[in-house]
Amino acid sequence: MKRGLLGLGFGLLVALLVFSQSMFFVGERERAIVLQLGEAVETQAREPGVNFKLPFVQNAVFFENRILVFEIAKTESLTADLKAFEIDNYVCWRITDPLTFYRSLRTDIVAEERLRNIVYSQLRAAIGSKELNEVVFTKRTNIMDEVLKKSDAQAADYGVTIVDVRIKRTDLPNRQAIFNRMNAERTRMANKYRYEGESEDRRIRSEAEMQRDVILSQANRDSIVIRGKADARAIEIFALALSADQEFYEFSKSLEIYRKSFRENTRVILSDDNPLLKFMR
């Protein structure tokens, strides 16, 4: 009798254990997926209520179905007009596809870190394309809508929907830091313009020197040609003059030699038959 009661009690205990391992409850604010050896065995998440699984072989992983919120620490951003300021913002998100979320991110901590990088990069890109007045006043709502749209499109690959992105507060950073940054930026731009100017100067000078060399070479070539023609013409005229009256030419050349040779206080010793004295006899 006692053995029968013990066996019955043991059987009930085992049945209770198997039943407890087979059943699990999903709350209204949760969704769950069933895993077997670490892999999902279903394509859809379990809805709230009582659910069942294979005991000891399968286990359930629960995910929040509520909107979750995390904050992005204060960071410094630079606008299109090179104005620096600090912003801190928050992000509202929720898990819309638990199976995809588990396969890509697994935990909320990893998800928040991934979403923080996505939102931060989109926010920096949006702010960097706008001026400070637009970020703070005129286009702040449009900027946040743009950041939300682009961030949500990237987050969809992780089974996550970004519900809202908002800037909590904007502050100007340390003025000395602003001055140093602006000074560094202006210095960088000045060096860039100076380098471009020097490059353009070298280019213009090299082109001018090349054109100068071309012009000089052409001029030298033309001068050589002109001088050659002039020398040829002079020789031709000289030959014509010589052939017209050779004796007169000899006489005029002798007079020219006399003027250059017989100057004041000049002594020249010549023999009587020297041809130079032909016209002085």
Element (H, E) at 185: helix 175-244
| Residue 163 within any structural domain of the chain | yes
Residue pLDDT, tens place only, 8-27: 666 666 566 666 667 778 87
Are residues 82 and 45 part of one domain?
A: no
User: Domain boundary residue among 173, 203, 219?
Assistant: 173
If you search the block for the tokens 């085992």, which residue do you land on? Answer: 14
Alpha helix segments (H runs only) across 245-269: 246-261
Q: How far is CA 18 from CA 7, 49, 173, in A?
A: 16, 19, 62
Q: How far is CA 146 from CA 49, 125, 149, 153, 165, in A?
A: 38, 10, 5, 11, 10
Are residues 143 and 80 part of one domain?
A: yes
pTM of the model: 0.53
Sheet containing strand 84-95, strands side by side: 68-78, 84-95, 160-171
Q: How far is CA 46 from CA 57, 133, 149, 163, in A?
A: 17, 49, 29, 23
Are residues 58 and 155 part of one domain?
A: no
The pLDDT value recorded for residue 254 is 73
| Residue 226 within any structural domain of the chain | no
User: Domain boundary residue among 157, 173, 189?
Assistant: 173
Residue pLDDT, tens place only, 220-265: 988 999 998 888 888 888 777 767 766 777 777 777 777 776 666 6
| Residue 214 within any structural domain of the chain | no
Are residues 81 and 54 part of one domain?
A: no
| Residue 125 within any structural domain of the chain | yes
pLDDT score of 92 more than 90: yes
Are residues 125 and 38 part of one domain?
A: no
Residue pLDDT, tens place only, 67-85: 999 888 777 777 777 777 7
Are residues 86 and 55 part of one domain?
A: no
pLDDT score of 1 more than 60: no
Are residues 60 and 125 part of one domain?
A: no
Handedness of CA 178, 180, 183, 188 (dihedral sign): negative
| Residue 52 within any structural domain of the chain | yes
Element (H, E) at 35: strand 30-36
| Residue 208 within any structural domain of the chain | no
Are residues 161 and 94 part of one domain?
A: yes
Domain membership of residue 19 as a residue range: 10-64
Are residues 80 and 56 part of one domain?
A: no
Residue pLDDT, tens place only, 146-204: 889 999 999 999 999 999 988 877 766 666 666 777 788 888 888 989 988 898 999 89
If one counts the domains in the chain, the total is 3
Residue 262 is given by DSSP the state S
Are residues 164 and 85 part of one domain?
A: yes
| Residue 263 within any structural domain of the chain | yes
User: Domain boundary residue among 124, 153, 173?
Assistant: 173
Are residues 103 and 59 part of one domain?
A: no
CATH number, domain of 119, equals 3.30.479.30
Angle at 156 between CA 100 and CA 119, to 5 degrees: 125
| Residue 25 within any structural domain of the chain | yes
Are residues 59 and 73 part of one domain?
A: no
